[in-house]
Structure 1
Amino acid sequence: MVHKLIEWSLRNRFIVLLLSAAIFIWGILSIEKNPIDAIPDLSENQVIVFTEWMGRAPQLVENQITYPLVTNLQGLPKIKYVRAASMFGMSFIYVIFEDDVDVYWARSRVLERLSTISSTLPKGVAPQLGPDGTGVGHILWYTLDAPGIDLGEQRALQDWYVKFALQNVPGVSEIASFGGFQKEYQVTIDPNKLLYYKLSVPEVISAVRANNNESGGRKFDMSDIGYIIKTSGYLKSIKEIEDIPLKNQNGIPIKVSDIGTVQMSGETRLGIFDHNGTGEVVGGIVVMRYGENADAVIDNVKEKMKEVAKGLPKGVKFNIVYDRGHLIKESIDSVKRTLIEEMLVVSLIVIIFLFHWRSALSIIIQIPITIAASFILLNAFGISSNIMSLTGIALAIGVIVDNGIIMSENAYQHLSQRYAQWESEQKNETNSDEKN
């Protein structure tokens, strides 16, 4: 088979050269399409289910949320195993699927199952899926450099402006906010006054909720003009919360301000984010989707940041604290430089040792063609250009050159033997002619 292939190649040199050129061009196009990252994604094919039930102990969360969810999710098809963790007020479930399962098919199956078991969970508890990213999906961290603006205002700016703008970038799965205070109205109740007015905490909560609502009416037609009737009852200030009536006692309304105080404050925090010891900051984490090109996503996010920065308050700007793009470019440049140096050194050694430019040229041409063709296979198997894959290509150059040298030496040896045999036959014929 090999002899026939070699014989066919020798007889059809133009076709072989044409196929080699086509493979080389295809490989160059594959290089441009191949996703680039610094490190390979070796994370498991998983779907995260997150459930929040604040104020509850880990054991209660385990018994009433984690255990029911795990037992029901284990029946999904193509699952390897299910892991879970119960914390104070939170439950995390990691559903690990087989490696060949499409991640969005897996997410849809988990979502279908959650819709059937949510009714068995405590009232007000709603499980939700985590972002469609991987363990190495954190590609960029940034903070807001906002001198003179308090942490609560910075967090509001991040959550209600910056986050929504950056989430529209293609390839971004989530913008996870961190730091600062999430503003909220807090009602601090005096238990002695509750006892005096014969009220309970659930009654206060119910009254506040009932007065923070908006309801629609109906369309009212008058003189051929339609009027939409609606009521706006959302609470907008501390004064409005303080004036909410709780009950009527002897014709006098008992208000929230009579049993406690209302203030604007931040949600209880479990930690802070400090940058270089200069104090607390507010920012976000850019999480990349499965299978995206990390280098391209980072560049697109940076371009979007320039656009978003135009709408920020005066003096506020982005400060990038972690950028995998630098690591990607340095890693890829290092490997590319190594590949070029290796190709030059190998080519020089081949020329010096063989001392035959046609043989050396046939070996040197194999290197770029083989490297370009390898990217066709990388795209076919969904492997990105990273330190591991490019280093493997660099190590394979030695094998490519060895094969070329062995084949050239073998061909040179056989040609030498045939040439010596031909010379001997010619010499014998000459001697025979001279005798005749």
Structure 2
Amino acid sequence: ENKLVTILIILVFIAWGIVTSPFGWDTAFLPSDPVPVDAIPDIGENQQIVYTEWPGRSPQDIEDQISYPLTTALLGMPGVKTIRSNSIFGVSSIYIIFEDDIEFYWSRTRILEKLNSLPAGTLPDDVSPALGPDATALGQIYWYTLEGRDKDGNPSGGWDPHDLRTIQDFHVRYALTAASGVAEVASIGGFVKEYQIDIDPNAMKAHGVNVAQIMAAVKNSNLDIGARTIEFNRVEYLVRALGYIENLEDLEKSVVAVRNNVPIRLKDVAKINFGPATRRGGLDKGGSEAVGGVVVARYGTNPLEAIENVKAKIAEIAPGLPAKTLKDGTISKVTIIPFYDRTGLIKETLGTLEEAISLELLISILVVIVLVLNLRASFLISSLLPMGVLLAFILMRLLNVDAIIVAQS
């Protein structure tokens, strides 16, 4: 009796289904709000990770003074199913597993509240636990390396692991972290550049200084100090004492002690140079040392969309990456080279599913036509099949069900 209303409602649901479909169809003037797409079902547990560093400490010390106190303190939180801990050299990792019905970000909030309210003396004074990124175990969507390439894109080298790791930590990582949908960009491989002070026991004994004095001298020599302001001719000037270390010479001149009005400098009792920080792992690519990063997608985000955002950010920062001229005249430019990209797997999965759904709909329509032997009736019956698929996409979007291969099947 209300054909116009019925047709309008059907058109609305068809348009809504096309808008939410995960296949990347051209929606023309309609907005695009696709179902989040991934190729791998996330069957992991609902867990959060508390990560604590205590450099130089043995696994037993980490277990006794960090892992055990934190585990017992976190046991009383609501919704916790179990807590597991892992203590290795200098690092404590605590895995807090919640019940499946506990909301992801609510659990993070309760953990932060608990960590901020720990009684004094629970942990050593110089230890600060941190909550891991808001991602799942399957959040690693993009891996890349930093390599020196010539203008034709061929490997040219010329960059040592120190330089590449510095570029990764202070340039590339910050830029990619700003991409929408990214929870964390973790650096891997290479060597972290640091100032290294090798003390000379004989020189220390001769000058009468100890390790505590050397540590205090290093700490106090890397400071900027403010001294308020001075007003001169109705202009206010800021007074600052600039003391940050900029090179090895600044550190060598640090005064450790004074004997008979003669300053004993750090270079008199120790050797100062640049060197690599101690590391517990590395990145190997084709049998060679490599430097790169891992992009981790935020919980609940669309992995395909997050990868596209990361690629757009890489294209944006690529022209600004450093370059150098090698001895043979070749210009070697630092280039971001992906070696794991989940986009291909996702699109192959979607392509397979789209083809399967299309063939199934076509076969079903042909079967209905053959059985009914009435074109009009066959059209009405068969039209319910694609509408059913589009309605499924709408419900998946409303219920936050990712378009993984299991859900699509």
TM-score by length of 2: 0.88
User: Residue 272 of structure 1 contacts residue 280 of structure 1 at CA under 8 Å; is this kept in 2?
Assistant: yes
State which of 362, 382, 385 in structure 1 corresponds to 2:400. Answer: 382
State which of 252, 260, 265 in structure 2 corresponds to 1:255. Answer: 265
Secondary structure of 1:133's counterpart equals coil
| Distance (Å, rounded) in 1 between the aligned partners of 2:357 and 2:124 | 60
| Distance (Å, rounded) in 1 between the aligned partners of 2:131 and 2:233 | 52
State which of 12, 16, 41 in structure 2 corresponds to 1:22. Answer: 12
Q: Counterpart in 1 of 2:26?
A: none
- Cα displacement string for residues 17-67 of structure 1 (whole angstroms, at most 9, x for unaligned residues): 554443333322332431111112222222211100011111111111111
State which of 127, 130, 133 in structure 1 corresponds to 2:129. Answer: 127
| 2:314 maps to 1:305 | yes
| Distance (Å, rounded) in 2 between the aligned partners of 1:272 and 1:46 | 26
1:304 is matched by which residue type in structure 2? K
TM superposition shift of 1:252: 2.8
1:343 is matched by which residue type in structure 2? L
Q: Counterpart in 2 of 1:427?
A: none
Stretch moving more, 343-352 or 89-98: 343-352
| 2:193 maps to 1:191 | no
Q: Counterpart in 1 of 2:43?
A: 42
| Distance (Å, rounded) in 2 between the aligned partners of 1:331 and 1:239 | 58
User: Residue 213 of structure 2 contacts residue 257 of structure 2 at CA under 8 Å; is this kept in 1?
Assistant: no
Q: Counterpart in 2 of 1:169?
A: 179
Q: Counterpart in 1 of 2:251?
A: 241
| Distance (Å, rounded) in 2 between the aligned partners of 1:320 and 1:246 | 48
Stretch moving more, 200-209 or 97-106: 97-106
TM superposition shift of 1:355: 3.1
Q: 1:282 to 1:247 in 2, by over 3 A?
A: same
Rg larger in structure: 1
Secondary structure of 2:320's counterpart equals coil
Q: Counterpart in 2 of 1:284?
A: 293
- Cα displacement string for residues 355-411 of structure 1 (whole angstroms, at most 9, x for unaligned residues): 3333432332121011011112212321111111111xxxxxxxxxxxxxxxxxxxx
Secondary structure of 1:274's counterpart equals strand
- Cα displacement string for residues 180-211 of structure 1 (whole angstroms, at most 9, x for unaligned residues): 11110000112232233332222211111111
Secondary structure of 1:333's counterpart equals helix
2:133 is matched by which residue type in structure 1? P
User: Residue 118 of structure 1 contacts residue 126 of structure 1 at CA under 8 Å; is this kept in 2?
Assistant: no
When you count helix as a share of all residues, which structure comes out higher?
Answer: 1
Structure 1 segments unaligned to the other structure (5+ residues): 1-10, 392-436
Q: Counterpart in 2 of 1:75?
A: 76
1:24-423 alignment runs, 5 A limit: 24-31=14-21, 32-117=33-118, 119-120=120-121, 121-146=123-148, 147-277=157-287, 279-314=288-323, 315-391=333-409
User: Residue 118 of structure 1 contacts residue 127 of structure 1 at CA under 8 Å; is this kept in 2?
Assistant: no
- Alignment length, in residue pairs? 380
- Cα displacement string for residues 62-91 of structure 1 (whole angstroms, at most 9, x for unaligned residues): 111111111111122232222211111111
TM superposition shift of 1:327: 0.6
TM-score by length of 1: 0.83
Q: Counterpart in 2 of 1:395?
A: none
1:362 is matched by which residue type in structure 2? L
| Distance (Å, rounded) in 1 between the aligned partners of 2:176 and 2:243 | 32
| Distance (Å, rounded) in 2 between the aligned partners of 1:14 and 1:218 | 77
Stretch moving more, 182-191 or 376-385: 376-385
| Distance (Å, rounded) in 1 between the aligned partners of 2:10 and 2:306 | 33
| Distance (Å, rounded) in 1 between the aligned partners of 2:299 and 2:99 | 15
User: Residue 82 of structure 2 contacts residue 96 of structure 2 at CA under 8 Å; is this kept in 1?
Assistant: yes
| Distance (Å, rounded) in 2 between the aligned partners of 1:366 and 1:175 | 45
Indicate the percent of aligned positions where both proteins have the same amino acid: 40
1:342 is matched by which residue type in structure 2? E
Stretch moving more, 254-263 or 179-188: 254-263
Secondary structure of 2:223's counterpart equals coil
| Distance (Å, rounded) in 1 between the aligned partners of 2:354 and 2:169 | 40
Stretch moving more, 12-21 or 218-227: 12-21
| Distance (Å, rounded) in 2 between the aligned partners of 1:276 and 1:154 | 17
Structure 2 segments unaligned to the other structure (5+ residues): 22-32, 149-156, 324-332
- Cα displacement string for residues 118-176 of structure 1 (whole angstroms, at most 9, x for unaligned residues): 73211210111111111111110111122212211111111111111111111111111
Secondary structure of 1:166's counterpart equals helix
TM superposition shift of 1:233: 0.8
2:310 is matched by which residue type in structure 1? V
Stretch moving more, 248-257 or 315-324: 248-257
| Distance (Å, rounded) in 2 between the aligned partners of 1:18 and 1:250 | 97
1:280 is matched by which residue type in structure 2? E
1:140 is matched by which residue type in structure 2? Y
TM superposition shift of 1:13: 6.1
| Distance (Å, rounded) in 1 between the aligned partners of 2:320 and 2:39 | 32
User: Residue 38 of structure 1 contacts residue 327 of structure 1 at CA under 8 Å; is this kept in 2?
Assistant: yes
TM superposition shift of 1:239: 1.5
Secondary structure of 1:383's counterpart equals coil
Q: 1:357 to 1:213 in 2, by over 3 A?
A: same
Secondary structure of 1:34's counterpart equals coil
User: Residue 39 of structure 2 contacts residue 345 of structure 2 at CA under 8 Å; is this kept in 1?
Assistant: yes
Stretch moving more, 116-125 or 172-181: 116-125
Secondary structure of 1:332's counterpart equals helix
- Cα displacement string for residues 275-300 of structure 1 (whole angstroms, at most 9, x for unaligned residues): 122x2221111111111011111111
| Distance (Å, rounded) in 1 between the aligned partners of 2:5 and 2:259 | 100
| Distance (Å, rounded) in 2 between the aligned partners of 1:247 and 1:347 | 91
| Distance (Å, rounded) in 2 between the aligned partners of 1:14 and 1:126 | 65
